[in-house]
Amino acid sequence: MPEEIIESFNVKGLQTLSEKGEVDEALMPELSDDEIKKIYELLILSRTFDQRALSLQREGRIGTYASILGQEASQVGSAFAIDKTDWIFPSFREIGVYINMGYPLHMLFQYWAGDERGLRTPEDMNIFPICIPVGTQIPHAVGAGMAAKYKGDKIAVVVYFGDGGTSKGDFHEGFNMAGVFRLPVVFICQNNQWAISVPREKQTASKTLAQKAFAYGFEGIQVDGNDVFSVYKVTKEAIEKAKSGGGPTFIECFTYRISDHTTADDATRYRTKEEVERWKEKDPILRLKLFMKKKSLWTEQYHSDVESKAISMVDEAVKISESIEPPKPEDMFIYTYAKLTPRQMKQMKESRWQR
Amino acid sequence: MAKVNMVQAINMALREEMERDKDVIVLGEDVGKDGGVFRITEGLLENFGHERVIDTPLAESGIVGAAIGMAAFGLKPVAEIQFMGFIYPALDQLFSHASRIRSRSRGRYTCPMVVRTPYGAGIKAPELHSESTEALFCHIPGLKVVVPSTPYTAKGLLISSIRDPDPVIFLESTRLYRLIKDDVPEGEYTIPLGKARIVQEGKDVTVIAWGSMLHRAIQVSEGFDAEVIDLMTLSPFDEEAVFNSVKKTGRVVIVHEAPKRCGFSAELSAFIAEDAILYLKAPIIRVAGYDVVIPLPKLEDYYMPTVERIRRGIEEVMKY
């Protein structure tokens, strides 16, 4: 065989909504004015929740918390395309996805304050509990995709992870299986440029993360993760493709983590203020506001109504979560197995008199 | 009733459970067309098709991780890991997720899955094909660990494991796969998890073993008035059966193939010391693998507890 090119790939990038609030009409997804306003309200609610969580942590009212500041469009834009019957496998930085799906806000505060009961997903939605070890939720989503396909359920499985997660073995094993079995899975990477202190370029020598998908036999695309329209459009298309038997898609949301990794981190140790300031100019909410203003969908009054509503929802959620009685020690026993072991029964009694 | 070996008995259990419940799915490396490297899943692909008998890519963490997602979605996956020495890449999935899904979601999601894997030495295999690291899994709350010792119990225990609402690690002794035959009835019967089996009653000494070592323990015990317990489920183990036997005999010998240090005999010994020490007439003796890397075939007979070492263990406690 003479030397020849036997395979080549093109990696697409997508931006619909610019930093100045201008849209490329040809790329604009179908969204009514009401839907655009709904997206804006979810972005504001997510940010309001996030900022409150940070201050509650500083006051010692919740534990370590992972902020989503700067990544709201990646989360709200993608989750806005997810149906209630779809399955979601989050990492630990997806508060915006939970909020989008209508997860009770007080339960999120309850969880971050150290009470597992906050992670008992309500029966009318399918969000798997927060996954702390990086990237390990990817094979779970693949298994759920296999199960959905076997059962003939017309659903998509959406899994979230970060740029750090793409270095894990489970990323490879999960992507590979999804490709082989052509599963209805949408892989969403929020590339926020930093895995704690390690920058994206030290995570992989690949130019993009999106291109990794091609090695597994399916499409990867990079979108501006601070552009809620692109994220929504690409996710919606990927979900439709999944549901119609077209197999998996990998979406790289190119975004930025404005906050520290968690409240236990100090990002000034490893990155410059200038870099963070540059990214603040790309703020996802700011550019949507500029767009909406041009379309006469945004006024000061509208914004202040949206913000007060978000604040009162968050206030109420904090109030509810802080009024919930702490769990009983029995709780840690009864969910280990379907039935207590004889030894656990003894230990449970001991935990009562220890108090 | 047919006389069958453990390979056939396990195959029967899988086949019957798959016939009974369409949510039971088999997945793993070479489990389909090849019928598994030990032929445990032979014929399943022909009977149930590619949708239910899944040849996966070579990826242990992916297999177990996918099984977790399937189980959470409502299926009952039975994953095969080709050898116990290859399960280590999947420990993260087992320890961090399978064991915790029920607790983490406070009961909203569960993980009813079985991970079957061949374990143990004695078949002249390459490195990492002879592991018996069952104690690793016994340490993790949320997992169950089952080790059958006969074709009959293998079938009944596997059916119970598949129907169990929690994740079960099911360890199959490679040495026993074709060593012994049993009367194994067609059709379903179950053996409850968490219960031990008194193989023979006796008054002078309790000999506790499981899996491959049980048969050597029985062989040696014939010269003594020994009560032999086949533990069958290691986690959670049958405390009542162990306690009652120790109370009766006052002497204990525990036999296992795994290295002695932190082997499951350590947990059993500690339980007996905490709960039944006043019934003991002699120190607890553990006859186990040595605290070494399990050797290649030239030395494996020196590594595994032999009939002679077990006999010396029993003679030792009988001095008291």
- The interface predicted TM-score (ipTM) is 0.96
Are B244 and B155 found together in one domain?
no
Query: B-contacting residues of A 140-159, CB under 8 Å?
Result: 140-148, 150-151, 157
Q: Which domain holds residue A352?
A: 328-355
Whether pLDDT at B2 is above 90: no
Within its chain, how far is the Cα of B313 from the centroid?
Answer: 23
Mean pLDDT of A284-294: 98
Q: Is residue A176 domain-resident?
A: yes
Q: What is the pLDDT of residues B276-310, one digit of tens each?
A: 999 999 999 999 999 999 999 999 999 999 999 99
Mean pLDDT of A245-253: 98
Query: Which residue of the set A58, A120, A270, A278 is catalytic?
Result: A270
Query: Which residue of the set B129, B139, B215, B256 is catalytic?
Result: B129
Buried b (16+ CB within 10 A) or exposed e, B157-171: bbbbbbbbebbbbbb
Are B204 and B176 found together in one domain?
no
Q: Report the domain count for chain A.
A: 2
CB B193 within 8 A of CB B144: yes
CA distance A302 to chain B (A): 38
Q: Is residue B191 domain-resident?
A: no
Active-site residue flag, A257: yes
State the CATH number of the domain containing residue A277.
3.40.50.970
Confidence of residue B261 (pLDDT cuts 50, 70, 90): very high
- A237 CB near a chain B CB, below 8 Å? no
Residues of A in contact with B25 (CB under 8 A): 150
Output the CA–CA distances (angstroms, integers) from residue A254 to A71, A193, A250, B234, in the order listed.
9, 8, 13, 49
Whether pLDDT at A355 is above 60: no
Q: Is residue A1 domain-resident?
A: no
Q: What is the pLDDT of residues B42-100, one digit of tens each?
A: 999 999 999 999 999 999 999 999 999 999 999 999 999 999 999 999 999 999 999 99
In this complex, do A177 and B66 lie within 8 Å of one another by their Cβ atoms?
Answer: yes
In this complex, do B142 and A337 lie within 8 Å of one another by their Cβ atoms?
Answer: yes
Which pLDDT score, from 0 to 100, does residue A352 have? 80
Residues of A in contact with B194 (CB under 8 A): 341
Which pLDDT score, from 0 to 100, does residue B223 have? 87
Which pLDDT score, from 0 to 100, does residue B1 have? 78
Residue partners of B238: CB distance under 8 A and separation at least 6: B194, B195, B196, B231, B232
Using DSSP, state whether A17 is helix, strand or coil.
Answer: strand
Output the CA–CA distances (angstroms, integers) from residue B73 to A156, A219, B95, B110, B244, in the order listed.
12, 26, 19, 9, 41
Are B159 and B294 found together in one domain?
no
Residue in B closest to A177 by C-alpha: B57
Which pLDDT score, from 0 to 100, does residue A205 have? 98
- Helix intervals (H) in chain B: 6-20, 44-48, 60-73, 91-93, 101-104, 134-138, 151-163, 213-221, 239-249, 264-276, 297-303, 307-318
Query: A-contacting residues of B 116-145, CB under 8 Å?
Result: 141-142, 144
CB A239 within 8 A of CB A186: yes
Q: Report the domain count for chain B.
A: 2
Whether pLDDT at A228 is above 60: yes
Tell me which of B145, B161, B184 is where a domain ends: B184
Tell me which of B184, B216, B244 is where a domain ends: B184
Residues of B in contact with A332 (CB under 8 A): 103
Which pLDDT score, from 0 to 100, does residue A23 have? 97
Q: What is the pLDDT of residues B140-172, one digit of tens each?
A: 999 999 999 999 999 999 999 999 999 999 999
In this complex, do B65 and A133 lie within 8 Å of one another by their Cβ atoms?
Answer: no
Q: Is residue A62 domain-resident?
A: yes
Mean pLDDT of A5-24: 97
Active-site residue flag, A270: yes
Are A208 and A354 found together in one domain?
no
Using DSSP, state whether A275 is helix, strand or coil.
Answer: helix
Tell me which of B152, B184, B216 is where a domain ends: B184
Are A26 and A71 found together in one domain?
yes
Are B137 and B16 found together in one domain?
yes
Q: Residue B166 corresponds to which tokens in the numbers above? A: 């929690």
The partner residues of B144 in beta bridges, in order of sequence, read B168
Q: Is residue B189 domain-resident?
A: no
In this complex, do B106 and A177 lie within 8 Å of one another by their Cβ atoms?
Answer: no
Q: Which helix (H) or strand (E) holds A130?
A: none
Q: Which domain holds residue B56?
A: 2-184
Are A17 and A96 found together in one domain?
yes
Select the residue of A133, A139, A331 nearest B69 (Cβ to Cβ): A139
- B212 CB near a chain A CB, below 8 Å? no
Q: What is the pLDDT of residues A295-354, one digit of tens each?
A: 999 999 999 999 999 999 999 999 999 999 999 999 999 999 999 999 999 999 988 875
Residues of B in contact with A337 (CB under 8 A): 102, 142, 144, 165-166
Are A223 and A353 found together in one domain?
no
Q: Is residue B190 domain-resident?
A: no
CB B102 within 8 A of CB A337: yes
Q: Is residue A206 domain-resident?
A: yes
